[in-house]
Structure 1
Amino acid sequence: MKYNEIIKIPSILIKEGEVPEGTKYTIAIPTYKRANLLKEAIDSCLAQKTSIPFVIMVVDNNPERNCETEQLIQSYKVSNLLYYKNAKNIGASGNWNKLFHLAITDYVVMLHDDDLLYNDYIEKIDRIICLYKGSVDVIYPAIEIFTQNKNSFERQKKGAIRAMRLHSYDFQFGNACNIVGVCFSRKSIIEENGFDDFFYPSLDYQMHVRLAKKNKLIKLFGIPLVLYRILENDSLKLSTMIEVAKKDKEIIESIIDKYPTWYKKLFISFFKAYPKYLLLALKNKLSFPDQELEQKIIEYSKNVTLVDMLILRIMTQFKARCMHLFRTRTLIK
């Protein structure tokens, strides 16, 4: 559901917080029936060590009143926490777009309800935006993966933060960025008419490619600012991965459409091997054997040669290891 459609659907303000004048940042959390995880996400936001004003906004896709999530939010006695309920469940893309409709600050940090921020996130992001003098639409922070519950959001190690400007061609071998904890210019998302549910479950990938055309995307390397929790949920389902392969192919084809014919021929092998590549990655993330997944990998393997897999490996390794060489600059030491 696109932005111009979503603004017609009402959202009810359940908990009214304060947005101090001059506030630049909203940490926006879409949620649906995951109060136990949401608490950790909110606590990580409240643990920010900064004098920079920010607000936390939770947008609930569950219209049910007095649910566990609503009770959790009402238990917080802080002034910078806002809580909305959508009048109906509007799906993932709809709720993502709601974040930008309801926020009133210049920048919106998208935080999933199972992920966390390090306590210096706001301080570091603000320094980087100031260094670029506002000429940036998106900042992709480095992430740290975890699986267990987390009760400390203080950084255990320090280091430098490097940055690189992204272009459309950086996304030609797959999604080069994670949406977890990404800081967006609110205006840039609205101008693009928001996330497009046609590309679900690759909503974020397609948005990255659209925004990359403006040459205002910054990817950070070095110390992580965000904690990304790996859970066995909808994003780790076989059906989801198969659909990801389909939508990713459409997105990549749009990027390479004007490239030379000889170059596009390399992607014949890439696209043949890509579904198998994604399913193997899914297999490695699961903590239990999945017979249906194993059968699907065998099925895809029948049409994929060693040469196809080799070409894909070279392309994806280039994306992971080489795209930032000679292009990064140190922002924070």
Structure 2
Amino acid sequence: MKHGTGEFRLEPSKKLYIDGLVSVIIPTYGRSEFLVNCIESVINQTYDNVEIIVVDDNNPDTNQRIETKNKMQKFRNHSSITYIEHEFNKNGSAARNTGFNNSIGEFICFLDDDDLFLDKKIEKQVHFLKTHQNFQAVYCGFEKDKKQNFPIYEGELSKELLLLDYHPVTSTIMFKRETIIDLGGFDESFRRHQDYEIMLRFFEKFKIGFVNEILLYSGENDGGNMLRGKKLEDLKEYFFNTFEENISKLEKKEKGIKKKIYSRHYSRVFWSHINDKFYLKALKIYILNLIKYKLIFIKECNAYLIKYLNNKKKVI
């Protein structure tokens, strides 16, 4: 089982945080045009005991770094905002860990730079965690592409996550501080699926609840930073190697779930290859998984195609 690679300056046994303070960590890379609105969505919260930590993960001496620094000038007189520049591009996981290492909040939020908090998000989630001691994190509904997505699941959600029924959207979640310390932060070896990775480790120990309201607007990015082709296949292989033990535990409890998990993930890879016109790669994925998982894989491919046609979304 892999663990996060973040190195934390706070000892979990020491109370080196401020009660009631919420630390909102915003990693930013290549999307400076969204950053001001993102930060202002936190400034405009109904809950005002907040610090904002912006971690610039752009490479130095690039236009993206220059543009981000210029945007941050607007907030130079805000004492509650900290701006940190990475010495080189590390990745989103590392930027989140950097932000946490410089935070002092009792509660932690990670906000993507193209997302927006609705004005009562922090207030509602702080209230939930203070009144529901059996949960160590809380998430909320969000709106994306003019579609509202309400939360359904709560508790220990390893099965739902691995089956892609529960999709962890990092910006919707608020964590208790000690939870992030216990997990060791984000695993910086994951350049994608960081949210899935940390939440699978989270669910080994903790439970998540939800506020059944739309409290986040998720940016309309075009998916340009998504992995494609061989890189996508390599990511899936790395993901499954990392969480083989988790999947095996589920298989012992529920016979056949392993085949369903693999089929569901690789059906997405198959349709991604079709969408990107990597037809030979798609054929290879189809044949290999048909041999391994037979009718289960066909069923998952068909189910995803139906979902795509109904929603008329781009297959990813």
Pair 1:309 & 2:297 matched: yes
Query: Which consecutive unaligned segments of at least 5 residues does structure 1 have?
Result: 8-19, 148-156, 284-288, 317-333
Q: How does 1:44-123 map to 2 (within 5 A)?
A: 44-48=41-45, 50-62=46-58, 64=60, 67-76=66-75, 77-123=77-123
Cα distance in 2 between the residues matched to 1:40 and 1:273: 36
Give the TM-score taking structure 2 as reference length. Answer: 0.75
| 1:38-66: CA deviation from partner (whole Å, max 9, x where unpaired) | 12211222232x14311221011236377
> Does structure 1 conserve the Cα–Cα contact (< 8 Å) formed by 2:267 and 2:301?
no
| One-letter code aligned to 1:117 | F
| One-letter code aligned to 2:52 | I
2:267 is matched with: 276
Q: CA deviation at 1:279?
A: 4.3
| One-letter code aligned to 2:49 | P
Q: CA deviation at 1:101?
A: 0.7
Pair 1:183 & 2:174 matched: yes
Cα distance in 2 between the residues matched to 1:297 and 1:120: 44
CA RMSD between the two structures: 3.5
Cα distance in 2 between the residues matched to 1:314 and 1:255: 26
| 1:199-218: CA deviation from partner (whole Å, max 9, x where unpaired) | 44222212111111223322
Cα distance in 2 between the residues matched to 1:182 and 1:273: 25
> Does structure 2 conserve the Cα–Cα contact (< 8 Å) formed by 1:171 and 1:252?
no
| One-letter code aligned to 2:55 | V
Cα distance in 1 between the residues matched to 2:49 and 2:242: 37
Cα distance in 2 between the residues matched to 1:264 and 1:247: 23
Cα distance in 1 between the residues matched to 2:151 and 2:53: 27
Q: How does 1:128-167 map to 2 (within 5 A)?
A: 128-133=128-133, 135-146=134-145, 164-167=154-157
Cα distance in 2 between the residues matched to 1:243 and 1:226: 31
Give the TM-score taking structure 1 as reference length. Answer: 0.72
| One-letter code aligned to 1:168 | S
**Structure 1 stretch displaced more, 199-208 or 272-281:** 272-281
Q: CA deviation at 1:237?
A: 3.3
1:299 is matched with: 284
| 1:208-234: CA deviation from partner (whole Å, max 9, x where unpaired) | 1111122332244x4321122232322
Cα distance in 2 between the residues matched to 1:242 and 1:146: 27
Q: Secondary structure at the match of 1:198?
A: coil
Q: CA deviation at 1:259?
A: 4.7
| One-letter code aligned to 2:286 | S
Cα pair distance change 1:314/1:248, threshold 3 Å:
farther
| 1:129-155: CA deviation from partner (whole Å, max 9, x where unpaired) | 22214x4322222221138xxxxxxxx
Q: CA deviation at 1:104?
A: 0.7
Q: Secondary structure at the match of 2:189?
A: helix
Q: Secondary structure at the match of 1:196?
A: coil
Q: CA deviation at 1:31?
A: 0.9
Pair 1:225 & 2:218 matched: no
2:31 is matched with: 34
Paired-residue identity, %: 20
Q: CA deviation at 1:167?
A: 4.1
1:325 is matched with: none
| 1:104-139: CA deviation from partner (whole Å, max 9, x where unpaired) | 111111011111111111121122122214x43222
> Does structure 2 conserve the Cα–Cα contact (< 8 Å) formed by 1:172 and 1:252?
no
Cα distance in 2 between the residues matched to 1:181 and 1:146: 16
Cα distance in 2 between the residues matched to 1:205 and 1:118: 24
Q: Secondary structure at the match of 2:154?
A: strand
Cα distance in 1 between the residues matched to 2:248 and 2:239: 14
| One-letter code aligned to 1:2 | T
Q: Secondary structure at the match of 1:108?
A: strand
Q: CA deviation at 1:245?
A: 2.3
Cα distance in 2 between the residues matched to 1:104 and 1:282: 44
Cα pair distance change 1:259/1:2, threshold 3 Å:
closer
> Does structure 1 conserve the Cα–Cα contact (< 8 Å) formed by 2:97 and 2:185?
yes
Cα pair distance change 1:89/1:266, threshold 3 Å:
closer
Cα distance in 2 between the residues matched to 1:211 and 1:175: 17
> Does structure 1 conserve the Cα–Cα contact (< 8 Å) formed by 2:111 and 2:171?
yes
